[in-house]
Amino acid sequence: MPNSDNRNNFGFRDDNWNPTDDRDKYRIVIIGDSVTDGHPDWNGPYTNNYAHVLESELNQKGHNVVVYNAGVSSYNTLMEVELLKTLKDELKPDMVILAYVLNDSFKEYPYPLFSLLEKAVETRQWQTGFSSFLFTHSDLYRFCYSFLSTDSDIEDRLQQAGEYAILYQDTVSQSLKELSDLSRQDSFQTLVLIFPFLKDKQNNEINLLHEYPYEYLHTQAIQRASQADLPAIDLREQIHSCREKNGAIHADTIHLNAVGNRCIGEYLASELIARDLIP
């Protein structure tokens, strides 16, 4: 049921949810951050979100489906899986799609982290230091650093120094494993969508196929999903094709506009059907 406000009866940017009325439908829950949540400044009304497009496309093709968009801005993988734990018993998903953005391993508290990382780069002790262990394994440790710095220029200096990979300590593998465990426990299918970076720090479009600077992060994300026994779809080539066909499809570095969201929604619908994942 459409809602007249920006948020539905569960607090998400989606139609109002009525789980008890959806028991005869194939139920898909999408968890993710702002790329999934969307925003009027990026892609207009929530009906333009790729999750909403996915639902419309599948139903138009004769599949009795409901898609619950549970995206929350600024969430990371850990938060998204924890959110799923609070929703799954009521929504009873048949499939859970996790929308993974390349910065999901650190974006919860980025700028304070940059100050810590700058010191680590100078001392070259990050890879073996106790801070590395704490940052990888302690949410409290990452949270505490949120009060220590606001220098947003450090990321640029790290990237220019070739140390950008330090930002991507593995803080998501355990959450992916938990998602995999939940899927077996509650008998739902899973899928990880990997969204690329669309622009560089100078606000220039990135070529997603040739000399793409973040390709290794896509490989890393696919490997982490595979280790958790989760199937994954890398959206890089599809978004490149959509850009070639439609021109600008982005609102900023990671967020898609309405055209980009439609491309992803339509593509995902066709992929789910082609993989015989939808009854």
Question: Could you tell me the domains of the chain?
Answer: 1-105+172-279 (3.40.50.1110), 108-169 (no CATH)
* Cα–Cα distance, 180 to 204 (Å, whole number): 37
CA distances from 77 to 110, 199, 229, 258, 275 (A): 15, 22, 16, 24, 25
pLDDT band (50, 70, 90) for residue 140: low
**pTM of the shown model:** 0.79
Closest CA to 195 of 1, 5, 36, 82: 36
Residue linked to tokens 């990382």: 117
What pLDDT band is residue 134 in, cutting at 50, 70 and 90? Answer: low
Residues 169, 109: Cα–Cα separation, whole Å: 13
Secondary structure letter of residue 169 according to DSSP: -
The CA angle 175-13-75, to the nearest 5 degrees, is 25
Mean pLDDT value across residues 84-92: 97
Which whole-number Å values give the CA distances from 202 to 99, 132, 155, 236, 264, in the listed order?
A: 25, 29, 13, 20, 25
Local structure of residue 107 (DSSP, 8 states): T
pLDDT in tens, 152-168: 444 454 444 444 444 44
Query: How confident is residue 242, by pLDDT bands cut at 50, 70 and 90?
Result: very high
For the chain, what is the mean pLDDT? 82
- According to the model, what pLDDT value does residue 256 have? 92
Q: What is the pLDDT of residue 13?
A: 93
The predicted structure's pLDDT at residue 200: 74
pLDDT given at position 219: 92
